[in-house]
Amino acid sequence: MLPLALNLLGFYPAYTNCALRFKKRKHHIMSPTPPSATSLRVAGLSQAAPTPFSLRPNAPELRTISKALGLDGLRKLSFQGTIQPLGKSDWQLTGTLGATVVQPCVVTLEPVVTRIDTNVVRTFQRDFEEIDASEAEIEIPEDDTAEPLGAWIDPAAVMIEALALELPEYPRKADAAIEPVRVTEPGKTAMTDEDARPFAGLAALKAQLGKDEDN
51 found inside a domain: yes
- Give me the pLDDT at residue 70, please: 95
187 found inside a domain: no
147-203 pLDDT tens trace: 999 999 999 999 999 999 999 999 998 876 665 656 666 766 666 655 655 555 556
49 found inside a domain: yes
Indicate the pLDDT class of residue 113, thresholds 50, 70 and 90: very high
- Give me the pLDDT at residue 58, please: 96
What is the share, in percent, of the chain residues with pLDDT greater than 90? 53
Top-confidence residue, 13 or 89: 89
- Give me the pLDDT at residue 77, please: 98
65 found inside a domain: yes
Contacts for 124 with CB less than 8 Å, ≥ 6 apart: 42, 90, 91, 92, 93, 146, 147, 148, 149, 150, 153
Number of domains in the chain: 1
Neighbours of 154 (CB within 10 A): 28
Contacts for 21 with CB less than 8 Å, ≥ 6 apart: none
- Give me the pLDDT at residue 118, please: 98
113 found inside a domain: yes
- Give me the pLDDT at residue 2, please: 40
98 found inside a domain: yes
Owning domain of residue 130: 4-166
200 found inside a domain: no
204 found inside a domain: no
